[in-house]
A = this chain, B = another copy of it.
Amino acid sequence: MTERMIVVGADAAGMATAAQARRRRDRNDLEIVAFERGHFTSYSACGIPYWISGLVPEREQLVARDPETHRKQYDIDVRLRHEVTAIDLDRREVVARDLDGGGEVRERFDTLMYAAGAVPIKPDWARTDAAGVFGVQTLDDGSALRRWLEAEPRPRRAVVVGGGYIGVEMAEALVLRGLSVTLLERGEQPVSTVDPDMAVLVTEAMRGLGVDIRTGVEVTGLAVRDGRVYGVQTDAGHLPTDLVVLGLGVRPNTALAEAAGLPLGPTGGIRVDRRMRVTGTPGVWAAGDCVETLHRVSGLPVHIPLGTHANKQGRVAGINIGGGYATFAGVIGTAVTKVCDLEVGRTGLRERDATAAGFEFVSVIAESTNRAGYYPGSRPMTVKLIAERPSGRLLGAQIVGWSEAAKRIDTLAVALWNRMTVDDMTALDLGYAPPYAPVWDPVLVAARKATDALAR
């Protein structure tokens, strides 16, 4: 008898699952129905800031695979604008509302993939339907913001609330569109995904671009007139603005899952096992921004919403649902971002994470260059390493530089993944040629410095 899989959420995790399952089982063996409340499938949310800035001209460029491709090429019954409103585990049914046509459908499943993603974190003041307040999580969010930016009279001032990756990328995007931009960050520095001594480099670069960065500022409310925002109220005074972008991060979208009784972990994400099965819930799987996962260094569960994890997890789930065997190995917190011309990379634990996890460690910051010093385009690169004391095991790394910096974090990520010590790392055979590295690559310079620090 044909088995039936329902996918809740037709973005990265859900559709990677569906595609992998389909590779292994044809439609006579496995029917796949995917519900998506939005207008799009499989798109790059990470690309939204570049579409807003105009660097990527067309919204459709961000769509990796449209519904027709999923339907025709993978034989997946994709139903856009259908919001799943309930999951009944006993009856093995989901209920979905047709957001455009109206009405409700009930669909039976044997296998359920819960891939509902994440929802923006909204403090009370942000729960508004005032015009001019935007999230940037979905393509629909992005479309609304683009319309606002192109409407007359053109907005001139923007306030971005939150200095995480998306906030910083949006601040830059809006500057590139010619707006005067203020970035509000509650903490000490924006880009708190790196330690403050590295984040300060990013803050300087953003100020150099003209972004008005205000740190240690708490938003208390929005000023709204005639249903339209005109200012942001903070504990440091009022800021007039023509639009507000919310970049306060996201949390796992688990409302439906909780209602159905799926287990959540301490991070608020759905608990899954290594094969992406929801813990203790036969036939139910979850993947992507709605689940929590293991951090391989701290050993703790973490919630790191990122397309690359969603895709990997979906692939793992799909292989398993398809009858194969695969496990998700966990994450180490690798991330890269571009801020103005500055490149930022990180992997593993920050100092605060290492302390929280109970590690003793040394940390070093090494200055070097991306290329041989005499080669044109040579620019400074700063590498920070955090290593366990006394073992020397690499716990975390951060890089800030002007070019060829961000992806050098991968070299450190693979070293960290393999539990290398900084001393062992000094021996690594990395590529050397004047256009690409000094004779001691910045990664090796930092490993040497950390080794020296451990010996003291």
Contacts and interface: CB of A to CB of B under 8 A. Distances in A.
B413 A429 contact: yes
Contact of A440 (B311, B372, B414): B311
A8 to B, nearest CB: 21
Interface string A320-353: 0000000011011111111000010101000000
Contacts of A307: 432, 439
A55 interface: yes
Contact of A334 (B343, B347, B375, B430): B430
A400 to B, nearest CB: 13
A48 to B, nearest CB: 10
Contacts of A332: 429
Nearest to A327: B427
A376 interface: yes
B433 A336 contact: yes
Interface in A286-309: 306-309
A434 interface: yes
A428 interface: yes
B427 A312 contact: yes
Interface stretch (A76-84, A124-132, A148-156, A415-423): A415-423
A76 to B, nearest CB: 19
A434 B50 contact: yes
A311 B439 contact: yes
A371 to B, nearest CB: 10
Contacts of A404: 404, 407
A66 B220 CA distance: 61
Contact of A436 (B309, B407, B415): B407
Given A56-B375, A374-B44, A338 B427 contact: no
B428 A413 contact: yes
Contact of A333 (B333, B376, B429): B429
Contacts of A343: 436
A349 B332 CA distance: 29
Among A334, A430, A433, A441, max chain B CB count under 10 A is at A433
Contact of A409 (B64, B373, B431): B431
A12 B436 contact: no
Contact of A62 (B312, B335, B374, B410): B374
Contacts of A436: 336, 338, 343, 406-407
A38 interface: no
A337 B437 CA distance: 11
B418 A430 contact: no
Interface of A: 12, 44, 46-47, 50, 55-56, 61-62, 64, 165, 306-309, 311-312, 328-329, 331-338, 343, 345, 347, 372-376, 404, 406-411, 413-415, 417-418, 420, 424, 426-437, 439-441, 443
